[in-house]
Structure formats: C-alpha cells, structure tokens
Structure 1
Amino acid sequence: MDQTPEEEPDHVFEDRSGIRGKVVVAMLVVLSVVLAVWLWDFGRRLLIDPPAAAEIAVLPAGGPRPLDALITLQTNESAPCARDESAFWQRQRLVLGYLSAADSTALTGLRSRCDQLDRVLADAFLLGAPDGTVVPLWANRNEALQELADSIAMPGGSALLVARITASTRTDELAALLSPGPALEKLVTQMAAFLASQLRPGLCLNLDAHPDLNPGVLRAALSRLKIATASPGRTPLALCLIAGPEAGFWRDPGLVALLDIAVVKGFQEGSTPMMAPAPADWFATSMAEMRALIPGPKLVVALGGFGLSWQTGQGRSLRLSYGETLSRAERAGAVPVFDATAGATRLRFLDADRQVNELWLLDAASLHNQLGALDRNQSIAIWPLGYEDPAIWSLLQPDPQDRPPHLRLQDEVDLSSQVLTETGGPALSAIEPDVKAQRWLRLDATGTRIVAQGYDRLPLPNRVQRRGGSVAGGVMLAFDGLPDGSDVEAIISALSARGAKAVFFVDLSALLEHDDAARRLSEAGHVLGLRILPPLPDRPESLVAARMQINAAQLYLSRVFGKPAALAMLRPGSGPPNFSRDAFREETDLLQRGLISVRSSFDAPYGPVDPTEFVDRILREGDPRQTQVITLDLRQSSADVAINLPDLMTRLVDDGFRFVAPELATPSGDLPPPVNDPRVSQIGDGPAFALVGFFMNGVTLLFFVMLVVSAAFSVLYIGLSLIRRPQGPIDPDFAPPVSVVIPAFNEEKVIAACIASILRSDYPDFEVYIVDDGSTDRTAEVVRGLVAENPRIHFLQETNAGKWHAENFALSAITTPIFVAADADSIFLPDTIRWLVQPFKDESVGAVAGLVEVGNRVNILSDFQHQEYMVTQNVLRRAHEFFDGILVVPGAAGAWRTKAVREGGSFSGETITEDADLTVAVHRAGYRVQFEERARSITEAPATIRAFLRQRLRWQLGMLQVSWKHRRVITSGLPVGFSVIDSIWFGPVSLLLAILDDLLLVTVLGTAIYTIALRDALPGGELPILLFTSYFIMTGIEVLRTLTAFWFERRFELKTLLLIPVLRFGYRQLLYLTAIRGLFRALAGHPTGWYKLDRTGSKLSAASDKKA
C-alpha cells in the first residue's frame, strides 16, 4: 500500500521566510561587537594605571626606630624547616638557634634558616615573682609557640623552652624563690602543667645575669622539677642551664651531672664599649675551661651574631643586626674595621645629632675564628637568630665544592631578603633597594685565622622609611573588609562613642557585596582603603590580575564616592612575622603608583576577640613610642567584631592608648587628585560592575536557589516513586487485538531483528504494520521477504515525509482498539506487548509508557546514557505517573488507545518529538497515561558524540516545541502542566544555569590550586564552599536516585554507580551544548530534522538480563 504525503505543517518556532533567523544572527553579531568593544574599553582601563600624583603630600617625620627594625622576608613554602636529611650527614656538629620572644627580627630569621638547624631554643617563660608565678611569653599560654612549630615543621617538632629571669630580680631573691617552700612548689606546679603537653619536654633556665647563684639551691630546685614532671611512659624532662663561662655553678659536678644540656655564652653584652663582646683570648681560654668542666655531648657554645651600639648619653647598649649595623656605617660614611684581637668588627662615628656612636659587630669573620678555637664536633647555638651575618651559614654546612672556610666567606654578600625600617610610622614613604658587595679577607701566617676583612662597598639591606603622625600611645583602628548590613550601625556607634575614626580596607568583591555598608561608613567620616593580595613574582598572569583588581576597585570608588583610595594594606603577609617577598615587592609597586601602604602592627585573631588578652598582647609586644595600627577582621564574622569592639576600645583607653584618625596617622587627604586620568568613568561601568558583582556575590544566591530547588525536586520524585504502586498481574482474559506500528527509514541493518523480536511475542492476537518512509537502502527488500513468510506483517510505503506522517499512515490502516509503537532499532521481549496492553482494562487510560533499556553499552558515553535511562524511567516516570503527569510515551516502547489518539489529533508534524506532543494531547483529551515498567524494550543508543549531539538536539528542541505548543496546559489545572514546567526547568533553563556553575567551579578550582600550591594558603569565601558543597550534595542525590533505580530493578551495578561523580565532567557539557543549540534554533526559526541515528546493527542485550 503506497501513499503520497500531504503538505507538511509548519513546525513550532519555524520561520520559513528565514527573516527571523537573519534578524537573530544580526542581533547576535551586533551584540557581540558591542560586547567586545565594551570589554576592550573596560579592560583597557583596568590595565592602565592612573598617573602618579604630581607631588606627594609631605607626611610628618617618622618616629623612633621600630622594634621590628630588621626582618627577613618570607617565602611561600608551607614548611620552611623541612629539609633533606641526607644533606646533613657530613655535618660534624649540632647547630641550635635562639629565638627571643616578641622579636620579629628573630622570628623571621628563624623562618628563613630553620631548615639548617637541629633544635630551637625559644624564650617561653618569665620567672622572678616572689610568689612563684610563671608568666608565659607567647599568646594562649604559649600555645602559639607550638602552633608556630607545627606550621613551619620546626626541627625536633617543638622548641626547647627557655625561662628567663625578670631584670629586676636580684640573685638573693632568685635563690629564695628556688629554695624549698610554697613559692617553689607553685613554680614547679605551674611549670609542670605547661610542659605536660610537650612531646619532647625540655626546659632551659637562663641564669646569665645570676652567675653567683648557689649551685646547691639550683640543683635541688631542678631535681624537684624533674620529679614533678615525671610520669610512667613519658619522656623524662630535659634540663638545661644558660649562662656565661664565669658562672660558678658550672664548677659543681653534681649540678652538671643533672643537666642534659649546658649552654655557655661565648660573648658578653657589657655596659661599656671599651670591651669587645668576645675577645679572642678570653673566648679561647673560657671555652677551654668549659670543655674541661662539662662533658662534650652536653656542652653547647652560644656564638653571638649581632652588633652592639653605644651612643653618648645611653645607659646601655642597643642590640643591632648585621644589616642595620652596616647601614648605620653607610649613613655616617664610616668604615668598619675588623680587630682580630678583639674578635669583632669595630665602628666609631658622629651621627647627625653630633652624638658619638661606638659599635661592635660579631660577624662571619668573628665566627670563623671562634669555630677555629673549638673542636670540630662542638655543638653551637646561633645567638640570636635573625641578627647574624648571612655568610655564617656557609661555615656551618658542608660545602658542595669542599672549599676552605675562608674562601666561602668571599662569596657575594647578598642582603636582598632583608628589610630594614629606619624610621617608624604607619605609612610607607620611601624604599631604597639593597646593595650587594664583595668581601675580602686576609689570614695570619698559619692560614687559619682571619686578621683583616673589608668590602668593595658596604652590603646593605632594603631600607625603608616610614612616616606619619607619631603619637606616643597612639592607635589607628583598621578593619579588614566591610561589616554585614546588620552590624554597620553597631560598629559606627562604637567608634562614635569614643570619637574614633577608622579605615576599612576593602577589595572590589567586598565593595560590591556590601556597597550600602561602604556608603554608610563613608558618610560617617570613616576612610575606605584598598585591600590587596600580593601577586606572585615572576608570574605575569598574577601581576596582571593584581593590577586589574586594584584598578577595578579604584574605578568603582571613583564612580561611587568621587575619588579613589589613597591608602592600601597588603593582606595577608603585610607585616612581620609573615612579611613575604611578594608583599614587599607589592609595597614597592604601590609606592610607585602613589598609594600609601599601611602596615598592620597587630592583627586580631580569627573569631571572637578577647579584649583583655588582645590588649595584653599589644602591651607585651608593642612599641608605645609609635602610632600602632590594630587590624580587626570583618571577613570572617563581623557580628563578633561588632559585639567585642566597645569592650576592646574601652580596654585600650583604660590602658592609656589614644585613638588616632587615619588622616592624622597617614595624612592621605592632602594628596592631589591624578590629572588626565585615562580611566575616567564611562557609561558602561555601571553594567560592568553590576555583572562583576553578580559573578562575585549574587551568583551565591543563585546557586543556593538552584541547589535547594534541584534537591527538593529530586527528593520529592524519589518519595513519589516509592509511594507509587505498580500495576497488577497479567489478566490472561484481557487480550484485545493489537496492532504494532513500526515506522522505518533506512533501517536495513536492524529492521529484521526488530520484527523477529516482535513475532516472538507471547501475545495471542496482534499484527504488525511496517511503514517504509521513503527509504533509500534495502529496508523495503528486507521487509518484503519477511512479509512473504508471515501473514501478520503488513507493509506500507510512502514518499519520505517524516516519522509522524508514517505513524499516521499506519493509524489510518489499523482497525484494532489499541496499537503499540516501536522504533525500528528496538528489540521487544516476549512479554512486552502483553504488559503494555494490561493497563488498558481501565477505559480512562489513553496511553501506556514502557521501559526502554540501552542495549549497546560499548563505551563510556553509552554507559552514561544507561544510567540516565535508568533514573529517568525508574524514578522520574514512576513519580510522574503518581500524579498523572507522564510527559513522554517513548517511541521505542509505548502503547496507545486508538480512540484517544484520534481524539488528541493523531501524530503531529508541528514538533519533532511527536511522541511527547501526542502524550500531552492525550492528556488534554481527558485520558490518563500510565507507566508499565515490566513492558521492556531494548534500544540502540548513540555510541558516538556526533550521533549523541544530533539526537539530544532533537530532544531539547522538541521539548521546547511541545512546551510552547501546549503552554496553556500549565494553567489548565491538568497535572501534566507541572511536568511541562519541570521539563523546562530541568531542560534548557537548568542546563544553561549549570554552565555558569561549571565555569565558576573551574575558576574556583584553579584559584584553589593557585592559592594552595603557590601561595601556601587555604582558599576562603562563601562561593567556593557553596560550589563544592553543591557538587557533593547533587552527586549524593544522584547516587541516591541511582540506588533507588537499582532497588526497583532488583539489581546493583557498581560500574554505573562509580560513573556518577564524573557525569558532570564531559557528559553534562554535551547537554549544555545541545541546550544552547536548541535555544538558538528556536529563536532563529530553524527547527532541526528528525536526525535518524546511524545504525550499527550490533547485537543488543538488556541490562536486566531479560533476553529477547
């Protein structure tokens, strides 16, 4: 039977004139050009720095030399103390280092050299109170010291704790404290509690100022302490004393026997410049005596590595670093001279105030000669760390070239990793770069001792001048970030109550997220500065990104507040002890840009701030002569800061501090505005910042909504699928005649297998209608051969008109009340037709959807589709049936009531998913659609990406067409209207939004890798947490949906389950592409064709193990 097709109807969205498509393309081209120009202009202004101010405002003169005058810049290494032990096996002596408390010079020196140390001696306690009170010198009762040890992988796992005596304690008072009694018991009890948490407990008592202490009293006190700290299974307490060689207790054999370590200072810090710190003869004689009194393994000789400065009128000397000593010499034009007899380098000069300055410097030449006076295996301690001549480390490590020690010292002297702040103040005003130099030496006749040294020019560290209003006891309040909207007024009120003004350092993200808070703070008279993350050196992309972030924030501030920021703070690593090389380079760059860099003196700890503990730390470690900058973190919890700020400010005032306004501490208000700024605000900046704000902050809400909606839908569907009850068993008495309709176009490879599987059906009364839709291959020949063999097969032919027309052609020929639709590549099981027919006992049922399985699982793409088919049919279709909302009766396994189909308008050519179109039409005709999971068909899924994209393009566009054609069903009250909304949400809308999700996920992953691997920090912020949380939650829900499908299938596939975490990496992106293509074709009016799958003819098998 042949038929000539009628004229094909217009497709939904179709524009046969092509005008709409041209208009859409033209609009896209224009939009792309406008967008490109806009991005180019905005990006150009982000890359162009504003011209520096014509004249930088003169800041008040700097204050006194700060306590952290010299620091060693830090690297980005996560564990700077980690070392290759194999490189140390040749070293003959142990090398220890001394870390003084609240000393940034020592702390940064430790971080830079701890990989060359075997153990660290750290100031930890202060003793001397008559009642025996022990005062910890580190925050959180010395927990901060162990946290430091853990963070840098300190040698030995922890520091060897040092207890020093208060300067005001006399020797007789100390003897009374250490004598048996309540004070000693209190001291022992407190010290035992402090030492209990140490894995390798050890205590050094620094008695340098008490050489005449009675050894008997000392021996008894140490014995009592050792007993108090002993416990079964615990490492015994290591006891240690520190003193000069003149101490009498070194002569007590019983006391020395009690000790595990004896640290003897090989230098003296006298009160007069007339005596050198370590004269050669004194050092040799004293150390020889100590070696005779103290067994070699116990003895540690502390070698000084510092300078001592005396100035006319000073009562005591000032300890200086090597770099600062040479800097003072350079400023005065003095020439340092090495005195071999004195064992040190000497300087003498008049300063600018006409004061006589005399300095002694224990440098690498001094240490070279001292090592020569010691045994080769003598343990030493560098005292203190951070102050030393860097060249000493070449003497303490094996030389790769096995050169003599004096030749190692003639390498270039490089102080580029050191920064010397010569004048104090909160604002950076000038930076002088480091100077490298060459050292020369002259040896004595024996060739073992250095008798003279000099430099071709003096080596110098980077030198910094800081300025600003130097107010004794002055405090400038700074905030890292902006408060949440609910906390703004509380912070403004707390500051106003004390008449204080503060500076809030922000980045573009914070400005866009808390723009209202920024406006209210600015209106209240507070200052907005830039929060800057230092870029990584030698990485162009990092430098460009940092520049763009700064300029973007400045553009925004200029647009909203009328002027850019003048102050900037580097976060993190903006000051000691974590001041990094990156941060210092950025400070230099900021200065060249005309920005004033502010360095934080004290950062409040994360979380709630204890005002008492924080102010105690400022009093203990701060410099009351300077204006100090205190920074509170609003980025973690602004509510905690708002609650604690009034108490903190009250405590500061009570302890004598005064609040200094940012304009007084760093008078940036006098900076003239930049002239001829090429970054002047443009009309497109508003949309640009709105878009950036959405990506930075608004997208968080979007993801939250997507996560909640998707999770709620998934959980709802799982619940409905479990509630839904399956159809009853087969009723053998219900077997009405059935027609099986198979439309075919070029199906010669699979049509015979399909027909054969249908003919094997155990259904008693059916016939088969095959419609050849103008095939150009051997399809007709294959079918005719089968027709001749089986009278139940009817063969219809027509000129190619599409699948919908072929099905309608068959519909016009059949006379049965029910017909089953099958795709030519489908394989029916023997009981498929019987199960499909059973629900039609209910006259209200207009269609029945079977279950389609992927039969060609040949690669990962087909495995992904198998998982998708399982979930969508076993979970979603069951759930949809519960409220009569099935949207698609699949063409590969579906049955229809002939009357219902005709009432619904038969198959339509208006959409390219005729099965979904007819399903909704049957719903609208007043019939129900049911699901019969036992009616199974095995189909061939696309096995190549090209075929998959073509199939899914048809599905995506077809569902859009169906949703638009039947849009009125949404408001009709029919349950299927909900499914239409659902299909739109889980179709193009959710897929297009998920593109944004994936783009940001890739960005966040890249940022996280960059932050962790290169910056040695953990990424923060709400967006990364939400992104990763959403990924794991949705993966978990998908696992749950798959497990639910397994439960319905009564089988478990580990392979399918393991594929779920990687579904969104590759497979999901293919779906994005089809969603975009589908939307474009809908807008352009160019619907796609049916896109028949290229058949492989491979043998199909059911995953359920039911074979055809």
Structure 2
Amino acid sequence: MRYLLPVVFLVALLAMLMLRGYVHSEILADHRVRPPAPTDQVPEHILAGGPVIDARDKQNPKALGIPDRRLVLTFDDGPDPVWTPKVLDKLEKYDAHAVFFVTGTMASRHPDLVEQMVREGHEIGLHTFNHPDLSFQSTDRIDWELSQNQLALAGAAGIRTSLFRPPYSSFSDALDNESWPVTQYIGSRGYITAFNNTDSEDWKRPGADAIIERATPDGTEGSIVLMHDSGGDRSQTVEALDRFLPDMKERGYRFTNLTEALGVPSAHTEVTGLELWKGKAFVGAVAVSENTTEVLVVGLAVVGVLVFARFGLMLILSFAHARKVRRKGFSWGPPITRPVSVLVPAYNERECIANTVRSLMASDHPLEVIVIDDGSSDGTADIVGGMGLRGVRVVRQPNSGKPAALNNGIRNARYEIVVMMDGDTVFEPSTVRELVQPFGDPRVGAVAGNAKVGNRDTLIGAWQHIEYVMGFNLDRRMYDLLGCMPTIPGAVGAFRRSALERVGGMSEDTLAEDTDITMAMHRDGWKVVYAEKARAWTEAPESVQQLWSQRYRWSYGTMQAIWKHRRALVERGPSGRFGRVGLPLVSLFMVLAPLLAPLIDVFLLYGLFFGPTQKTIAAWLGVLAIQAVCAAYAFRLDKERMVHLISLPLQQILYRQLMYVVLLQSWITALTGGRLRWQKLRRTGAVEAPGVVNNQRQRAAGERRSVA
C-alpha cells in the first residue's frame, strides 16, 4: 500500500490535469488551417445556392436559403463565461432568438450556459469539440469530434442536435475540393451544415458601427449572420447588438432559430438513458478536474511564493547567524570547562560502537561516557566493556526503546550538562567542547549540533549530504535567530539536566523523541540554539529501503510531535514565540507544503509533453538554479566541497520523489490511525571523524615508537 496509494494519487492527479488540458485544447488539438483549394468537384448548385447545406441524401444534396425578412443570428466558439451571458441578456431584452454553435471544450466547462440557451428558446449547433480544420482530419477523428461535442451537450442540457457548422468556415460558395467531402460526410451522419452569408467580422474588433454595417443584409433578403460570443474581447459585439436588434426589428425583420426559418422540425432531440448519464458523468468529471486543478494551481502558486520567501529568509538569517557567531570576541557567556555526561543509547550497534566510544575518548573536553545497552543481542555491551577505557560505563537494560534508554542514562549521569548522541555517530575532538559552550548563557536549555553525513561517497549518501547541509543546518541557523528551533538532532545535542527533569525527560509518546523534547523545552521557556562548530559524523542509510524506514519514522514522528504540542499555538508566556512562529513554520514546510510538491513534477511532465515545452524547461531550470544557489551558500558556510552539488539535479528528480511518497505514506498512517514501530537500520561502522582518525594514527605511531 505504501507504493500503491501514492501512485494512484499521482495517476489520478495526472488524469485530471490531462482532462483539463483536453477541454482547454492543449491535448489532441490541431490548429492547422488549410489554404483554399480548387472547386471543380463541388456541384454548381451548391456553390450558387443558400448558406445551409443538407447533404443527408448523398445523391441529392441541397442548398437552402433563408426567407425574406428573417435573420438567423449565429454565435460561434462559445459559450464564454464573460460574454455569452451578456449576449443572452441582449437577446432576451429584445425578444430575439439565435443559434449558438458551441465547441465541446467550452460547453463541457460551462454547462450552465448551454442549459440557459436551451431554456430560453435558442438553438444549439455543433462546432466540433476541439475546433480543428476538418479537411485535415480522418473520418474517425471527425466522428470523435462530433460524438464528444454531443456528449458535452447531453451532459449540459440533456439534448442532441442535428445542426453543424465547421470551424474556419465562411460562405457556402467558399466550399472547395477539400472541404466539400467533409460536408458530404457530415451529412451522411445526419447533420445539416449551416454556413453564413452575412459576416459581421466582429472577431476583427472593427468597432460597433462597422459590425452593424457588415451584419446588415441588403434590402429585405433573409440571411444567416455570423458573430462570436467567445474567443476574445466581445464587448464590441455586445454593444452592436444593443442597436442592431431593435433597428432590424423596426425594418420588419424577425430573429428566429434556423429550423424555424427553414420550416423544419427542431434540431434538438432529448437524450435519455445511458447516453444522458454518460454525458452527465463527462461534464461532472470536467467540473471536478477544473475545480481541483484550479485549487491546486492556486495552492502551488501560494506554496511556491512561500517556499521562495523561505529561501530568501533562510539565506538572510543564515548570513546574519554566521556573522553573529563568527565575529571576533563573540561568546555565549563564561566558558564552560566543567565535565559533562555523554549518553550513548545503543541497540545492536556492534559495527559502530567502538568507533563511537573511541571518538569520545579523543575529546578535548572532560566528560564521562555512559553507554546504555538497550537489550542488544549482538554483544554491543561486551564490546564496550572489553575496551577497558576509564570514564566509560555500560548500563544494561531490557529492550525498552530509545527514550527509555536515554532516561536511564539521565538517571545515571553525574553532571548537570548532558550530551546525547546516537550509537552510530562519531564526534570530532572539539565537538563536545563546542557543543556545551552556549550553556554559558543561563537561559539556554538545549543546544543543537551540526550533524554531517560521513558515508557520502555513494549517490544516496551524496544526496543526503546535500540535504543535511542545506535542509537541516541552514534551517537551524534560521530557526536559531528566530528563537524557535524545532529539533535537537539525536546524533548531536546537549541539554541541561535540570531542564530535562522539569519537562519530564524523554517522552515515549512519539517516534521523534528529539523533536518532542525540543518542543517541550520551548514550551517550558528555555532557549534552544545551534552550535555550528559542534560537528558529528553520522552514518546515513545506504539503501532505498533503509532510507525509507528512517524518513518514514522521522516524518510520522514529527506529525505526532506537532499534534502533541498543538496547544503552543494559543499559549501565552515563554512558549508563545515558538507557538506563533516555530510550530506554524514546521507544520507548513515540513508537513503541509511537501504534499503539494509533487504538483511541480506532474505539471513539469504535462508541460513537457502537452504544454509550452521550452518555457516549462526554463521554469524548472530557474527553480533548480535558485536551489543550487542556496545549496552552494550552505556548503560555503559549512566549508564543504562543492563537488557533491553535481548530483543536485538528479536529487531533485529522483530523491525528492521518495521523500514525497514517504510523507504521503506518513499522512495515510496518521489519518487511518495506524501505528508505526521503531525500525532498526543496518549499520556498517565505516564512518570516522577526520580529527579522530588523525589522533588515532598519531597514537598508533607513538605506540610503535615506544615498542621500538
């Protein structure tokens, strides 16, 4: 289900987007227009006859005219949500009827206007679904255009129509050897084709006076007048109608439907049964697609603005944070030189635990090390005990989970400042000293260190390295200045023991105990800060499955922590700043906004195949460039080599998708009331801190010299 549900969601989203593209003439649309061709194959009586062609009898096609003093006012390309209602108002005002040749794309998007046309006594004709030049199309495509147009009419007004007007048509005497076979085929499908013999040319926007002049027939002859209620600004058409309709009535003309003028039965027939429900289902699907995609586009735009604003804020505040902590003479307060307790919860960490403990023994700050063996079955505790190191204690307990192990370690700690780290992490010699200096400020209750990926030589490791430097540590600089740090990383963090005891220690309520305790510290009024020089090297997951397990736990645990501390939003006092700033930011950018992030990729795919490809690629490259700038700045602040940024484009294409699916799966787990257990990751013990490696080499060289 972890793969099926996200895939179904994305496929449904893409289907809605493609349906919207279909009814907006972005998919399957053909905008070619054929130039005039010879006319020798068109019967003379058709070319010289009236504007209505009845080719239903293939052997005896007829050209029909409009009786004198009858005007059939026709409108093409609608219905339009802006101009069609104005046209209908003018027709109602002067008690005139008209024929609307609608496209399926517009009729399916605005079914209420089609229903209004029929209700007010106007006639509907087909103008194809996507408005292609039918002389380019096969008979199958012509059938498709007609059937889809009829489907839209059935769903909108419950009718079928026998009237048709081909796109890009004009007078019947303009029929040629390419368009005449199309007219014959349309007739064989049971349609009457209506051209026109008076063109207002309102699409040129020549002004109301010119539209009226061109729409007025000579003398008293009847005519089919061509106008448009869609396809652009039709204000001049509406203005012209306000004078044209009453003027022509004064001259004795009647504005009638086409079938009424021809004296034949109505073009409309009622649709019932399965065809009616198919039409309604289609129109309903279009409405869902339109509304959903509009909401998503707006949501994406809002999230995009917020994300870019966050990027800008992050860059500015990170720069300010770096200047603050790196300026000459900066200090948190009196230097912290007293010993600290380092807690190392460990469960089956035999591959890593020796490196972890040795790195602590190389520390240049006095400390005690407490390894809490949480019921390991691989001899982790025995390895530590066998190392015979002074200042290192092993506390054994039955398997109870990481929070319980940390609480056990707190109870056994001798000192006021407690450093916590993971059993797969190694510290540099200066890490502990740098991590505890902020406690010189008595208001500081907890300190976040700088966690770094040690195994960055693989592609997955390089992607996580980018994420750690850019997404985690750059964020922490921003949150530090805002005074609302959301998480003390489990790999490298420090706490006042008295502050921990005040908030009840590490909680087992969530799977993100580090986020949970950080939020609890804020709510208790403590400051939480970031120490950039307190570097810890951790072993990131090396397989997709391990990465999935870790991030699934993180995202689900973060949701749990946000929900647990939701009352911080309305609390006053010391926790108010975190509730007003930190909790909304974490909720928006770590939980809510990423849900819309797949839209970027869905719209990207749609734009590449169906939209403006060059603009789509340019937009994607622009976003990538902004991310690259942020990443490069973050790498510069952390003094990291830029070479790993080569994989940033691939990270955005592949790695980001995995994170989307993980978050979506976490949402599904949360909404369905599911429970997620702690998932142990397989470790290799390959990570060592650079400083530790050098110290160990020096120590080994000294031992060899002593032996010699």
Q: TM-score normalised to the size of structure 2?
A: 0.76
Structure 2 residue matching 1:775: 3-state secondary structure: coil
Query: AA paired with 1:831?
Result: S
**Equivalences for residues 694-773 of structure 1 within 5 A:** 694-695=291-292, 697-724=294-321, 726-727=324-325, 728-729=330-331, 733-763=335-365, 765-773=366-374
Name the counterpart of 1:143.
none
Deviation at 1:809, TM superposition (A): 1.4
| Aligned with residue 642 of structure 1, among 215, 223, 235 | 235
Q: How far apart, CA to CA, are the structure 2 residues paired with 1:586 and 1:987?
A: 57
Deviation at 1:791, TM superposition (A): 0.4
Query: AA paired with 1:972?
Result: E
Confirm or deny: 8 A CA contact 2:345 2:372 kept in the other structure: yes
| Aligned with residue 984 of structure 1, among 587, 601, 604 | 587
Is the alpha carbon distance of 1:509 and 1:672 closer, same or farther for their aligned partners in structure 2, counting shifts above 3 Å? closer
Q: How far apart, CA to CA, are the structure 2 residues paired with 1:942 and 1:543?
A: 56
Query: AA paired with 2:558?
Result: M
Is the alpha carbon distance of 1:606 and 1:915 closer, same or farther for their aligned partners in structure 2, counting shifts above 3 Å? farther
766-775 or 598-607: bigger deviation:
598-607
Name the counterpart of 1:1069.
657
Deviation at 1:992, TM superposition (A): 3.2
Structure 2 residue matching 1:782: 3-state secondary structure: helix
Q: How far apart, CA to CA, are the structure 2 residues paired with 1:908 and 1:1076?
A: 25
Query: AA paired with 1:1094?
Result: R
Deviation at 1:625, TM superposition (A): 9.2
Name the counterpart of 1:610.
206
Query: AA paired with 1:693?
Result: E
Confirm or deny: 8 A CA contact 1:425 1:466 kept in the other structure: yes
Query: AA paired with 1:795?
Result: V
Superposed CA offset, 1:372-431 (max 9, x none): xxxxxxxxxxxxxxxxxxxxxxxxxxxxxxxxxxxxxxxxxxxxxxxx978552566438
Query: Is 1:632–2:233 an aligned residue pair?
Result: no
Q: How far apart, CA to CA, are the structure 2 residues paired with 1:696 and 1:578?
A: 41
Name the counterpart of 2:551.
952
Structure 2, unaligned runs of 5 or more: 20-28, 697-708
Q: How far apart, CA to CA, are the structure 2 residues paired with 1:889 and 1:846?
A: 11
Name the counterpart of 2:77.
480
Q: How far apart, CA to CA, are the structure 2 residues paired with 1:579 and 1:756?
A: 91
Name the counterpart of 2:683.
1095
Structure 2 residue matching 1:1088: 3-state secondary structure: coil
Query: Is 1:1080–2:650 an aligned residue pair?
Result: no
Q: How far apart, CA to CA, are the structure 1 residues paired with 2:340 and 2:585?
A: 33
Is the alpha carbon distance of 1:915 and 1:1053 closer, same or farther for their aligned partners in structure 2, counting shifts above 3 Å? same
Q: How far apart, CA to CA, are the structure 2 residues paired with 1:1064 and 1:586?
A: 49
| Aligned with residue 469 of structure 2, among 857, 870, 876 | 870
Confirm or deny: 8 A CA contact 1:603 1:631 kept in the other structure: yes
**Equivalences for residues 745-824 of structure 1 within 5 A:** 745-763=347-365, 765-786=366-387, 788=388, 790-824=389-423
Confirm or deny: 8 A CA contact 1:426 1:627 kept in the other structure: no
Name the counterpart of 2:24.
none
Confirm or deny: 8 A CA contact 1:829 1:1106 kept in the other structure: no
Structure 1, unaligned runs of 5 or more: 1-23, 44-74, 81-103, 110-305, 307-319, 329-350, 352-419, 434-462, 1009-1017
Name the counterpart of 1:101.
none
Name the counterpart of 2:425.
826
Query: Is 1:663–2:285 an aligned residue pair?
Result: no
Name the counterpart of 2:25.
none
Q: How far apart, CA to CA, are the structure 2 residues paired with 1:515 and 1:483?
A: 10
Is the alpha carbon distance of 1:676 and 1:1085 closer, same or farther for their aligned partners in structure 2, counting shifts above 3 Å? closer
Is the alpha carbon distance of 1:77 and 1:885 closer, same or farther for their aligned partners in structure 2, counting shifts above 3 Å? closer
Is the alpha carbon distance of 1:577 and 1:709 closer, same or farther for their aligned partners in structure 2, counting shifts above 3 Å? farther
Query: AA paired with 1:785?
Result: G
Deviation at 1:1090, TM superposition (A): 2.0
Larger relative helix fraction = 2
Q: How far apart, CA to CA, are the structure 2 residues paired with 1:606 and 1:733?
A: 82
Deviation at 1:546, TM superposition (A): 5.6
Query: AA paired with 2:239?
Result: P
Confirm or deny: 8 A CA contact 1:850 1:937 kept in the other structure: yes
Q: How far apart, CA to CA, are the structure 2 residues paired with 1:582 and 1:992?
A: 51
Is the alpha carbon distance of 1:840 and 1:689 closer, same or farther for their aligned partners in structure 2, counting shifts above 3 Å? same
Superposed CA offset, 1:243-263 (max 9, x none): xxxxxxxxxxxxxxxxxxxxx
Superposed CA offset, 1:58-81 (max 9, x none): xxxxxxxxxxxxxxxxx9798x9x
Structure 2 residue matching 1:741: 3-state secondary structure: strand
951-960 or 706-715: bigger deviation:
706-715
* Identity %, equivalent residues: 26
**Equivalences for residues 923-1072 of structure 1 within 5 A:** 923-973=522-572, 974-977=576-579, 978-995=581-598, 998-999=601-602, 1001-1008=604-611, 1034-1035=623-624, 1037-1049=626-638, 1053=642, 1056=645, 1059-1060=648-649, 1062-1072=650-660
Name the counterpart of 2:446.
847
Deviation at 1:988, TM superposition (A): 4.2
Query: AA paired with 1:782?
Result: I
Confirm or deny: 8 A CA contact 1:615 1:652 kept in the other structure: no
Structure 1 residue matching 2:274: 3-state secondary structure: coil
Name the counterpart of 2:36.
108
Structure index of larger Rg: 1
Query: AA paired with 2:517?
Result: L
Deviation at 1:756, TM superposition (A): 2.5
Q: How far apart, CA to CA, are the structure 2 residues paired with 1:854 and 1:544?
A: 61
Larger relative strand fraction = 1
Query: AA paired with 2:443?
Result: S
Is the alpha carbon distance of 1:479 and 1:1035 closer, same or farther for their aligned partners in structure 2, counting shifts above 3 Å? farther
Is the alpha carbon distance of 1:853 and 1:694 closer, same or farther for their aligned partners in structure 2, counting shifts above 3 Å? same
Q: How far apart, CA to CA, are the structure 1 residues paired with 2:139 and 2:362?
A: 70
Q: How far apart, CA to CA, are the structure 1 residues paired with 2:591 and 2:177?
A: 49
Q: How far apart, CA to CA, are the structure 2 residues paired with 1:737 and 1:508?
A: 78
Query: AA paired with 2:661?
Result: L
Q: How far apart, CA to CA, are the structure 2 residues paired with 1:746 and 1:1006?
A: 50
Superposed CA offset, 1:624-676 (max 9, x none): 999556353734x4xx3224642599799999998965535788971362465
Confirm or deny: 8 A CA contact 2:51 2:171 kept in the other structure: no
Deviation at 1:906, TM superposition (A): 0.9
Is the alpha carbon distance of 1:607 and 1:628 closer, same or farther for their aligned partners in structure 2, counting shifts above 3 Å? closer
Q: How far apart, CA to CA, are the structure 2 residues paired with 1:868 and 1:601?
A: 68
| Aligned with residue 910 of structure 1, among 502, 509, 532 | 509
Confirm or deny: 8 A CA contact 1:611 1:648 kept in the other structure: no
Superposed CA offset, 1:578-611 (max 9, x none): 9999999987786566555556889999987234
Is the alpha carbon distance of 1:1036 and 1:799 closer, same or farther for their aligned partners in structure 2, counting shifts above 3 Å? same
Is the alpha carbon distance of 1:1106 and 1:696 closer, same or farther for their aligned partners in structure 2, counting shifts above 3 Å? farther
Deviation at 1:903, TM superposition (A): 1.2
Q: TM-score normalised to the size of structure 1?
A: 0.51
Q: How far apart, CA to CA, are the structure 1 residues paired with 2:641 and 2:254?
A: 69
Is the alpha carbon distance of 1:851 and 1:625 closer, same or farther for their aligned partners in structure 2, counting shifts above 3 Å? farther
Structure 1 residue matching 2:273: 3-state secondary structure: coil
Deviation at 1:731, TM superposition (A): 7.0
Structure 2 residue matching 1:679: 3-state secondary structure: helix
Name the counterpart of 1:885.
484
Q: How far apart, CA to CA, are the structure 2 residues paired with 1:1097 and 1:605?
A: 79
Deviation at 1:778, TM superposition (A): 4.0
Q: How far apart, CA to CA, are the structure 1 residues paired with 2:623 and 2:207?
A: 43
Is the alpha carbon distance of 1:628 and 1:606 closer, same or farther for their aligned partners in structure 2, counting shifts above 3 Å? closer
Deviation at 1:1096, TM superposition (A): 3.2
Query: AA paired with 1:1041?
Result: C
Confirm or deny: 8 A CA contact 1:599 1:629 kept in the other structure: no
Q: How far apart, CA to CA, are the structure 2 residues paired with 1:831 and 1:740?
A: 14
Is the alpha carbon distance of 1:516 and 1:946 closer, same or farther for their aligned partners in structure 2, counting shifts above 3 Å? same
Query: Is 1:679–2:275 an aligned residue pair?
Result: yes
